Homo-oligomer: A and B are copies of this chain.
Amino acid sequence: MKKKLVKTVHFRDIDFSQWYTDLCLKAKLISYSDVPGFFIYLPNGYFLWEMIQKFLNHYLKKSNHQNVYFPLLFSENLFQLEKDHIKGFAPETLIIDKISNQSLPSKLILRPTSEVIFSKYYSNIITSYRDLPKLFNQWCSVVRWEKNTKPFLRSKEFLWQEGHTVHASKKEALKETLYILNLYKKLGKKLLAIPFISGIKTEKEKFKGAVTTYAIETLMYDGQSLQAGTSHYLGTNFSKIFKIQFQDQNSVIQLAHQTSWAVSSRLIGAIIMVHGDDEGLVMPPYIAPIQIVIIPLRLNNSFLLTKVNFYYKQLFKKYRTKLDIQNKNIGWKFSHYELQGIPLRLEIGEQELKNDQITIFIRHNRKKIIINASELLINITELFKNIHQNMFDKALQRMTKNIYIANNYEEFKINLFKKGYVKMSVLANEAEEIIKKETGATARVILKEKLLNKICPVTHKKANQTILFARAY
């Protein structure tokens, strides 16, 4: 068995779930709160969320989306209107019946998602095709009374953004749905170093209230899939009920077409589960709260310290850099910053000083390189680019390698055991029910591929869809 000198966290291969929780707590991303199921986002964790906000805001604003803020509480009556929607959300929605010291105007909903309150507003202000499109987004938290909670992945309150848009036609609304889906994939590719598989959800798995749900999914290290974001085409489901109508260019009254879409703090869970290793977090360089830590190997050499300070000042202007001159054991420092997943560690000892060089430890592949101090900035820029690409490629390779094909139900079960995705052509819904019950796997997305077989191996009826299955968070 593998040995570790300093066992800071559980081994990833032995107890993945405990390894994950260890990392969240020990790298100080999150902390438990006084009410079970609620979490405190600590600076290291919240910073990741701020970087995600910055990335998405940049592209959303560029594409004419506008940020807004809609109330946390709204009346239950609104929520009851869309029957499928309420059915989907009712079990986890917090409905406030009674408060201690005040009277309530009516039962209130604590926002689990905001389709209904946006729709109500849109119905008040949209009258003409000239009012369209409306492209609103908000950053907020939502409350869902989940039973089994896990840091970042499932909690009674979580952070997210929710976009709610209104369009004059199905075509435009679908275009928006796909624009956002691609934006989420870009977020994965450029910032999180995470590849996403995307596709349409089955009827059984789609968002209640949507016509079509697109999702991005990705493979965690333990072989389970994580739904990391969704983009819904809502059709006229809400506009019918809330009367979001407009006069078109020919003065004909039309129902508006809507979309909604969201990513949440689950993405932080994905960063940990995709990239982390036995030594701790591995942060992709462009999102890392600290990108570079500089550790002088001697603290009693003033010339060395001057040099180190010089490097720090150079780097600090361009990168999130930390200089650690605490009087602590070097080994402790090394493992402390490895736990935090800081992409680069610069080591400067007397050897380096003499040769005007710097030793760089690269967190993600745990390799050391030596560079000339004069080429520091150029090297860092290049290193980040390579590290990011390598981390993305590694995750992509693992995901691609773990997509299996099943021609029959036995193969399905054997492949599922290998941990990953299994592709099979089935009779949707009916087969999904059986598969979920018997294997725990669910339909992740429908693949736009021709059928692998005409008969569904599970129901023995006519297959109608090729679906990517997996166990999922």
A98 lies within 8 A of B101 (CB): no
A105 lies within 8 A of B71 (CB): no
Q: How distant is the Cα of A418 from the Cα of B14 in the complex, in angstroms?
A: 76
Q: Is the interface of A mostly helix, strand, loop or mixed?
A: mixed
B102 lies within 8 A of A145 (CB): yes
CB distance from A38 to the nearest CB of B (A): 4
Determine whether A121 belongs to the interface, using a CB cutoff of 8 Å to chain B.
yes
Determine whether A67 belongs to the interface, using a CB cutoff of 8 Å to chain B.
yes
Q: Which of A48-72 touch B at CB < 8 Å?
A: 49-50, 66-72
Give this chain's copy count. Answer: 2
B75 lies within 8 A of A34 (CB): yes
Q: How many residues of A contact B (CB 8 A)?
A: 56
B97 lies within 8 A of A100 (CB): yes
Q: Which of A39-47, A223-231, A442-450 contacts B (4 or more CB under 8 A)?
A: A39-47
Which of B40, B74, B90, B94 meets A70, CB within 8 Å?
B40
CB distance from A193 to the nearest CB of B (A): 23
Q: How distant is the Cα of A107 from the Cα of B99 in the complex, in angstroms?
A: 9
Which of B40, B49, B70, B94 meets A121, CB within 8 Å?
B40
Q: How distant is the Cα of A120 from the Cα of B33 in the complex, in angstroms?
A: 9
B50 lies within 8 A of A68 (CB): no
Known: A43-B66, A43-B136, A136-B43. A33 touches B97 (CB 8 A): no
Known: A100-B95, A102-B94. A157 touches B71 (CB 8 A): yes
**Chain B residue with the shortest CB-CB distance to A102:** B145
Q: Which residues of B contact A75 (CB under 8 A)?
A: 34-35
| A67-106 near B? 1/0 per residue, CB < 8 Å | 1111111110010000000000011011111111110011
**Chain B residue with the shortest CB-CB distance to A41:** B69
B99 lies within 8 A of A95 (CB): yes
Q: How distant is the Cα of A159 from the Cα of B71 in the complex, in angstroms?
A: 10
Q: How distant is the Cα of A70 from the Cα of B35 in the complex, in angstroms?
A: 12
B105 lies within 8 A of A99 (CB): no
Question: Can you list 5 contacts pairing A with B, beta carbon distance less than 8 Å?
Answer: A34-B74, A34-B120, A42-B68, A43-B68, A69-B159
